[in-house]
Structure 1
Amino acid sequence: MTLPGITGQRIIVTAGASGIGLSIARQLKAQGARLAICDVDEAALDRAKAELDAELAIPADVSDEAQMQTFFRQTADTLGGLDALVNNAGIAGPTGGVEEIDPADWRRCLDICLTGQFLCAHFGVPLLKSSGGGAIVNMSSSAGRFGYAFRTPYSSAKWGVIGLTQSLAKELGPDNIRVNAILPGIIEGPRMENVIADRAAQKGVSHEDMKAEYISRISLRRMTPPDDVADIVAFLISDAGRNLSGQSFPVDGNLETLG
C-alpha cells in the first residue's frame, strides 16, 4: 500500500543496517523516501547501503555527540535537509539482578537507548524546523510500559523514551513537528533470541522453554515480525498520521506482561 506524503521525504534511520532498522529503511525506501542511515556495524552498513541505494550511510554511534553532529551535518549536505527522523538505535543491555549489574553497563545502555535519542533530536530538530516541520518516531519498547525484572537498565531507558516523546511533542508541536513513540514487543530476530538465552541461563531452563514462556505472555501467541513495526513507523511519518503526536503505539500482539 502506498502511503501519502512519503515520496521524496528526506529521512534518517539510526541503526538502519539490520533488524528493525533495516525493515524500517526498506519500507520507507519502497514508499519513495530518500534515506540517510547510520550504524556501528560497518559490514552490515555496506550491505544495507547497496540494497537500499541509500544516499548516505556512515558508521556512527548515536551515543557519541561528535559523531552525531557530523552525521546530521552530512545528512543536511547530502539530502539538502531533513523531513523525518527515526530514532531506532538501541541495545538490549545487561540481564541480571540490580546488585549484579555493572554500573558501566547501566550507563552504556542509557547512553545508547535514551541519550542517543536526545542527541539525534538535538541535532535533527533545527533541520526539521528549517523544513517547515516533520516527524520524529522514537523507538521505545513494551519495557517502556511494564516493569521488566532483571532488565532494569533497558526498562528504565525505554520508560525515559516515553517521557522524551511526550515532552518533545508538546515543545515542538507549534513548529509543526509531530513526535510519537513505538513500543515493539517480543520481536522475531537474533537480538530477542539472545535476550531469551540470557534469561534462560539465569533461570536454569532450556532456551525452548524460556521462549515458550515469553510467547505465552502474548494474547496472540506469536512473536512480532520487524516488518510490522516498519509499517507503523511509515504510517506515522506519512500524511495519514498528520494529526498523531505525543502518542505511544504498542506493536506487540497484546503483550500482557513482561518477566
Structure 2
Amino acid sequence: MTDSLRDKTIVIVGAGPGFGRTLALRAAAEGATVVVAARTASRLDGIVEDVRAAGGTAIAAAVDATDPESVRALRETVGEHTDAVHGLVYSAFAVPSMKPLAETDHDQISRGMDLSVLGALRATQEFTPLLEAGSSNGAASNGTQPASPSSVVMMASAVIHHSRERYAGYKIAKTALVALGHSLATELGPRGIRVNTVAPGYIYGDTLKAYFEHLAGKYGGGVDDVYAHTASRMDLRRLPTEDEIVDPVLFLLSDAASAITGQTLTVDCGEFHT
C-alpha cells in the first residue's frame, strides 16, 4: 500500500461482487473514500461492510445507469458527502447475447449500447462538475505547477481486438465505449479531467471458475484442463487475476498517471498485442 489515493473520493459505478468489490477494497486501502454504486443494493451493503471491516471508508448508493434520473440522483447523493470527486470508474456490465449478428435481436444490441456506452456517458456528464472540482490542474495554466487531474476509467474488454463468432454484439458496445473515452479525453482534458479505458481479457475469479466448471462438465476433463487450454493462447500461459486487473485501474486513478489520457490499456497476459 502506498497511500496513492489518500484524501481522494472515488466513485465506482457498476460495483459487482468480483472486480468491483476488489477495486473498492484496494482503493480504500490506498486511502480513498469509496462510493460503490450498482442496481443490487444487497451487494453494495456487503461491499461497504467489507471495506469498513478492513478500516476503510465506503458509501453505498443504488443506481440504474440506463436511467438519467437515477444517475442524477447518484450524483446528488455523492454531492451530499463531498464537493469534489477525484476518480470515476465505470464498470457496469450486462451479459451479452452471444449470438451471431444474423440471429441477434436489435433490442439486445441497443440494450448493450445503452448500458455500456450511454451509461458511461451519463455518469461522466453528471460527475464532470465534481471531477473538475477535484482536479488540481496547475500545469495547464502556467506549466510550472505539478498537475493532479481527476481521472475517469472505463472498463472495456479485450474483445475489441478480435472478431470471434458470437461476440459481435459485445464487441460493438465495448469498441464504442473506447471511442467514447477518446472523445471525452479530448473534450475534458482542458478541464483537468483525464479519461482512459482498461480492456481486460479473461479475469480468473469466481465467475470464470464457475464457467470453467460448466465447460468441464460439458466437454469432459477438469477445470485445470479448461484453464490450461484457455491459457495456452496467452504469452504468459496464464490468466489475469482480479487483482491484476485492479492494479492498472488504481494506477490510472493515481497521480502517477497524471500525464496519461485518451489511452486504452489491454490487460490479458499477452493474448493480444496492441
The structure-2 alpha-carbon separation of the partners of 1:101 and 1:237, relative to structure 1 and needing over 3 Å to count, comes to same
Larger Rg: 1 or 2?
2
Distance 1:2 1:124, change over 3 A: same
Where does residue 142 of structure 2 map in the other structure? Answer: none
Q: Is the 8 A contact 1:92 1:195 kept in 2?
A: no
2:265 aligns with 249
Task: Report deviation, 1:98.
Answer: 1.6
Residue pairs, 1:1-259, within 5 angstroms: 1-4=1-4, 6-53=5-52, 54-132=57-135, 133-192=149-208, 205-206=219-220, 212-256=228-272
Deviations, residues 100-129 of structure 1 (Å, cap 9, x unaligned): 223222222222121111111111112112
- Say if 1:170 and 1:98 are closer, same or farther in 2 by CA, change over 3 A: same
Q: CA RMSD in A?
A: 2.3
> 1:128, 1:190 → 2: CA distance?
33
Structure 1 residues 57-77: Cα deviation after superposition (integer angstroms, max 9, x where no partner): 122221221111100111111
Take 1:173 and 1:80, find their aligned partners in 2: how far apart are those partners?
Answer: 20
Q: What is the TM-score when the length of structure 1 is the normalising length?
A: 0.88
Question: What count of residue pairs does the alignment treat as equivalent?
Answer: 253
Quick one: distance in 2 between partners of 1:230 and 1:159? 21
TM-score (norm 2): 0.84
The secondary structure found in structure 2 opposite 1:162 is: helix
Unaligned ranges ≥5, structure 2: 136-148
Give the residue type in structure 2 aligned to 1:121: T
Q: Note the C-alpha offset of 1:170.
A: 1.0
Greater alpha carbon shift after TM alignment, 248-257 vs 29-38 = 248-257
What is the CA–CA distance in structure 2 between the aligned matches of 1:90 and 1:194, rounded to whole Å?
18
For residues 148 and 12 of structure 1, what CA distance do their matches in structure 2 show?
33
Aligned-residue identity in percent: 26
User: CA contact under 8 A between 1:178 and 1:244: conserved in structure 2?
Assistant: yes
Which whole-Å CA distance do the structure 2 matches of 1:72 and 1:80 have between them? Answer: 11
Partner of 2:140: none
The answer to whether the Cα contact below 8 Å between 1:93 and 1:153 also exists between their aligned partners in 2 is yes
Q: What is the CA distance between 1:22 and its match in structure 2?
A: 1.2
Letter in 1 for 2:46: R
1:197, 1:151 → 2: CA distance? Answer: 21
